[in-house]
Each structure stands twice: as structure tokens, then as C-alpha cells.
Structure 1
Amino acid sequence: MNNLKKIKIIFLLPSLVPGGAERVISFVSQNISKNKFEPILLIAGFKKDNAYDVNNVDVIYLNKPRILTALPLIISTIIKLKPNIVLSSISHVNTAMSIISPLFKNTKFIGREATILSKRKNEKKSRKWSPAHFISSSFKNLDMIICQSRDMAMDMQLNYEVPENKICVINNPISSLPPVKEISDSTNIKKFITVGRLTEVKGHSRILKMLSQLKFPFHYTIIGDGNLKDEILEEVKSYGLQDKITHIPFTNNVNDFISKNDLFLQGSYVEGFPNALLESCVIGTPVIAFNAPGGTKEIVENGINGYIVDNEMDYLEKLNENKKWKPEEVRESVYIKFNKETIINQYEKLFIQIAN
């Protein structure tokens, strides 16, 4: 490949604020081979919002508050740089790129999806202008769609008529390796944690309902913020759990909190690919999760790094269990599948295939 022209790739994001898509795309853009590829990170937003180290890639900031207002500059940048590939992430950005892609006959357009769109479309508070409502026609111009899980890929095929040959499943990578937690000293208080937005789809309410039925001492830490915060905190009061629950809206030390807890609890009704759950396993903290559509079942191995359950009765049974977990085994179970080298290799193979 050294003797051949490098494949020029624009990685497009609305911003570099903290988020799953932002973490993965900035990570991939920095870690693909510079001998084979020429990556450029194109950010619609502002440098001041940057939450990620992007020192190992060229970054262009367009200083616009949203993709729509940045679109003329995005088009002119593509014209100027003449990339072989444009990779976007997040539904509305993918939709915008699909719309403009016919203007660029010599550039391939890849969209990376972050959610199971049919489930988002059905959410109570789904916005009428959500890309989920018209994606079946808008995504057809993309040359490839990267899905984070097999369920997401199936959703694209069945509900949005995206052909199988235009879909590629690439899981999210483990982008950092914090120390594995030490086996915690036995205490009488069992410690649980959940990390995620306080929204309906994340299922905090059903976790609280089950915790209220426990007969042993426990403490539950909720990290995250969202539009259901007040409602969830009211539920905490109604169950009389105020003394057993700590709510932390935001912290830069999520890993420290996860390592100090015995179990990570996921109540989600749907998950594209649950990054916080994966991070918990990387640290060595096992998980209990519902068997929900998405990537959870690609991460969790029953009895090895946690449990996937089908209903609240089974969930409660696992909460009451006293299994002794081995943090090193929990970590190894996910590292072998989602390590940096494996995932970057999958991206590189896709880029070479698409460019040729």
C-alpha cells in the first residue's frame, strides 16, 4: 500500500462533545493506518466544545452550531479535498450526506448508525422530523451503512429496505484500558450502579421497582442526566429509597465509580450498542441486563461477565444471587472481541473494499 495512493477519508461529526458517536469516530480517525489512509476529521461545530484528544489527526472546525447551517461549508470542503470516502455518524448527519451524495460521483459515502431506528420511531416522544420517519428513502443514496450490532443491521433490512450488501456490522471498540478492579472486600452492603441518560428508553423506573423489593442492605448509584430526572427522583422518594440511592448528574470519573460497585444494572428497553455496559465489563464489574433489542447480547455472556434476563422476576432473582465474579475474566470476555486492533482492522478492510 506504501507505493499506492493513500485513501483519503473525511470523518464528519456535528461536534466533539462527549458522546458515543464522537468517541468512536474520533478514535477510528486517529488509529487507522497512516500508511494506507489520509484521515481528516471534519467538525461542524466549535473547537471549544472538544472533549476528546484528537492530536493524531488533522481536524477542521467549521464553527457552525448545527449540520444544517454547516452544510454549504461541508459541500465546499468535500469539493476542495476530493476525498475517496466520507464517513458520517448520527442519523440526521447520515441523512444530510445521503441527500448531497449524488453531487459527488467520485466519492463513496458511508453512514454509521447509532441506534435501532424503528424503536426510536415508536418512542412516545419521538420528534415528527426525526430521520427515523423518512429514512427508508433517504438512506438509499449511501454506499454503505455501518451498524453497531446485528439487531441494528436486521432493523435496517426489515424496516428500511436497505439491501444486505449495503450493510456492515462493526461493534464499538474498547478505546482505553483502565486498570482491572480489585476483588472487593466482602461487606454487608451490595453496591449497584447504572450509567446512562435519564430517559424513558433507559428503563430506570423498572430498576427502582425491583430494588424496592430487595430484603438486604444495598446502595445504588445513578450517573446521568436527562428529561426524566425529576420523575425518577420522585419515584425514589415514593419507594422510600432516598437513603439508599445517590444521583450524580455528571462526572469525569465514571470508571472509578464503576470499579467500586459490585454490579452494573441496565434496564434499557433498546440499546444500539451499550458503551457504558461495555466499559463496566472492561473494568471487571459484571452486569445484569434485560434481553432488549440491540448489541447487549453481543457483549454479555451469561455467567461469565453477567446475565441477560427476559423479565423482572428473573432480574430480581439475579439481584438476590451471591455469585463471586472474577474481574479478570469479566474483562477478558469483552477484550477478546472488542479490542482496538480487531475493530480498527474491520474499519480498514471496509474502507479498502469501498474505495476500490
Structure 2
Amino acid sequence: MDKKLLLVTFPVDLGNAKNETSLVDMFKDHLDLKIHRFIPDKKKHHSTSKLDYVAIISQRFVGSFALQKAVYQAQNEGRKVVFHGISPALFAYPATQLGSSYIITDWTRKLYEPILGTQLSPAWQTFIHKHILNSQKYILGLTDAVVEEIAKDYGVPESKLKKVKLPFTIDLNLFTSSPKRQDNEIRILFVGGDIKRKGGDILLRWFADNYQPNVKLTIVTTSLIDAHPQVTLETNVKYGEPKHIELFNNHDIFVLPTKCEGYPAVLGEAACAGLAILTTKNALGAPEIIQNGVNGYICESQEDLLKQLNILVKNKPLIEAMKIKSREYMEKEFAPELVVSEYLNYIFE
């Protein structure tokens, strides 16, 4: 293979780990691929104390020596270097040739500031990230939201910003379209570890306040919750296992009333499984997956989502039509060869 690549991944959470798997799967059969996993945090830090923050940064500095060595060696081998996220690009910066590397991202420190109404990236950090972003050949943004935000907040010129799709090849192969059932049940699925941020708590309240025997709700989470007796609660479901596939294939509507999210890949999983999808505009990657009114709805707020859900559960023919459209959309817009060709064209132009 004449195309050679070093992919630097940063699997610090479940979302990044899932995206790492998807990117590796996409590239592996198309080029000579090497992978460097930049050291993930060995412990999950839920505290925001300065000591925890210092420990995380210290750990990453230690990991940066191996990272820089891998980048330096890759460049000597004539490999292109692609970073999954800004952090690995930052810690590899001393070894990276200026204007020769690429960042794939759906998130920056400043992305959520308009939603949360608070500063998440202090001026010094924004200055550093601006320098790292502008030192790349291209930034490969996974959503329109992040591409627009990087241009606005970090001053990256349009010529350096490219839009690509998050690959869902594994999910297209893993799931099949949800079968049409002859019963009158409407089965709703929620998946999310941080149940309050992702809106599972308001979905539980909606279910209790509007209980209908034919409407079923399944909650998949690691959070401790006090669920309605008619809610099915799943707490130990791993991606790709038979239970995971069964859950998606046996439901009708995927609901994610999130308060704040970059690109929830679970929306793509749901669409690959042929589910109608409801989420909020605060799932910034939702427009990549959802065509409003065709295979689901992107709602202005959690309150609007619940109103739309009340309407949708009364219209099973529309749900069935949306389910079909979801799978069709993913097969067309996220066809594996289409997706990988975008990346290869930008990286090896």
C-alpha cells in the first residue's frame, strides 16, 4: 500500500473509544495503518478539584514522550499523522512538522459555552488551542456545528476546515432494520450513562405522568435511578453484544432529550437499527443523522421534545415510516466507500 498513516487516538471516555473503533475499522483496509493510543486517564475523575486536574495533566505529560516518539518515527517513515482530538495534537506538538498533520474532531472547549452560558475555556487555553488548530494542514470536523465554531472562536481559515462524516460501518453491519410488528405497542428506548445531562430523568417523569399500557420504555444507563415499575431498566449492556443488538432491534423510537452533547454516536446506532429518533438541538451532531419530520425530530428544548413525543406515540404509521427512512438514510449517506473516500481525499490529496 502506498498510503501510510499514523492514527493517534485518545480514548478517554466511551464516546471517544467508540469513535476510535470506528475510525480504525474505516482505515484498516485502505492503507498501511499504525495506531498510537495516547494515554487515557487510568481513573475516571468526577471531581473538579485542582489536584485532580493537575494529576490528569501530569499523566498526559508523561504519556507525551511516547506520543512524540511515535509521531517523529511516523514522519520519518513518510506517514501522514492524524490526531483524533485537539489534546493529542497539543501534546505531540514539539515533534510534529508544521502544517503536515490533521485533527479529526467533533468538540472543542468552547463548543458548549453558548449552550451552558458559562466560560469553559479560559483565555490562555483558547490561545494555545488556537495555535494548535491553525498549525494543522486541515481540521476534519464531524459536524457543521464544530466547523462553524472553530472558525469563529479559533480563527481557523475556511481553507483549513473540511467537513467529514463519522463512520458508521460497524453499526450498519451490526444492526438490521427493526421489524414491523403487528401489535399496538410503542417501544421507546433511551441510552445514556449520565442520565441527567442526557435527559433520561425528564423522560422517566414523562412516562410516569402520561402512562399508557401500550407505551413501553426501556432505560439503558449506569446511573442509579428510581424508575417507574413499568419501566425496563438495563444497567450492564456492552456495545456489540447480543443484548445491545436486541434492544435496538426491538424498539421503535430512540429518545435523547439531552441538555448538551457534541456528536452522540448513539443517534447513528439508532438510525442504523431503523428507529425513529427524537432529540434536542443541543445534540449538536443531530443534523448529521436526523432529517426533521422524515426520520425523526430535532426539538428546540426538552419541553418541546416531550410535546412531540406525545404526538408521535399516537401515530404508529408515522413511526413505521420514520423507521424505514432512518435505515435508508444511513445506508445512502454513510455508505462505507463514500465516507472513507472523503478522508483519503483530504489526507492524501
Fold agreement, TM-score > 0.5 = yes
- Out of 165, 169, 189, the position equivalent to 1:171 is 165
- 1:256 CA displacement: 1.5
Q: Does 1:108 align with 2:95?
A: no
Aligned length: 313
Aligned 1:178-197 pairs, distance under 5 A: 178-187=175-184, 189-197=185-193
Q: How does 1:10-25 map to 2 (within 5 A)?
A: 10-15=6-11, 19-25=17-23
The partner residue of 1:85 within 80, 85, 97 is 80
Q: Residue 29 of structure 1 corresponds to which residue in structure 2?
A: 27
Q: 1:274 to 1:44 in 2, by over 3 A?
A: closer
Q: Does 1:273 align with 2:263?
A: yes
CA distance in 1, matches of 2:211, 2:107: 36
Provide closer, same or farther for how the CA distance between residues 202 and 129 of structure 1 changes in structure 2, counting only shifts above 3 A: farther
Matches within 5 A, 1:33-112: 34=31, 38-44=32-38, 67-81=60-74, 82=76, 83-97=78-92, 99-101=93-95, 103-104=96-97, 108-112=100-104
Report the Cα offset of residue 285 of structure 1: 1.2
Q: Deviations over 1:298-326 (max 9, x none)?
A: 21113321122223453233323223214
Give per-residue Cα distances to partners, 1:33-71, cap 9 Å, x unaligned: x3xxx321223459xxxxxxxxxxxxxxxxxx9643232
- Greater Cα offset, 78-87 or 139-148: 78-87
Distance 1:244 1:273 in 2: 27
Superposition RMSD on alpha carbons, in Å?
3.1
Q: Does 1:246 align with 2:233?
A: yes
Q: CA deviation digits over 1:208-240, x for unaligned, max 9? A: 333333241233222233xxx23xx14x4xxxx
Higher mean alpha-carbon deviation, 10-19 vs 283-292, is at 10-19
- What letter corresponds to residue 136 of structure 1 in structure 2? K
Deviations 1:63-110 (A, max 9, x none): xx964323222222333332342101133213223x325x535x7111
Residue type of the alignment partner of 2:139: I
Letter in 1 for 2:182: D
Q: Distance in 1 between matches of 2:316 and 2:293?
A: 9
CA distance in 2, matches of 1:257, 1:130: 45
Q: Following TM superposition, by how much is the alpha carbon of 1:126 offset from its aligned partner in structure 2, in angstroms? A: 6.0
- Residue in structure 2 matched with residue 340 of structure 1 by the alignment: 336
Letter in 2 for 1:205: D
In the aligned structure 2, how far is the partner of 1:304 from the partner of 1:148?
22
Pick the aligned partner of 1:117 from 99, 109, 117.
Answer: 109
Give the TM-score taking structure 1 as reference length: 0.77
How far 1:116 moved relative to its partner? 5.0
Distance, in Å, in 2 between the alignment partners of 1:312 and 1:17 is 25
Query: Are the equivalent residues in 2 in contact too, given 1:284–1:329 (CA < 8 A)?
Result: yes
- Which shows bigger deviation, 281-290 or 297-306? 297-306
2:219 corresponds, among 191, 198, 222, to 222
CA 1:224/1:313 → structure 2, altered by over 3 Å: closer, same or farther? closer
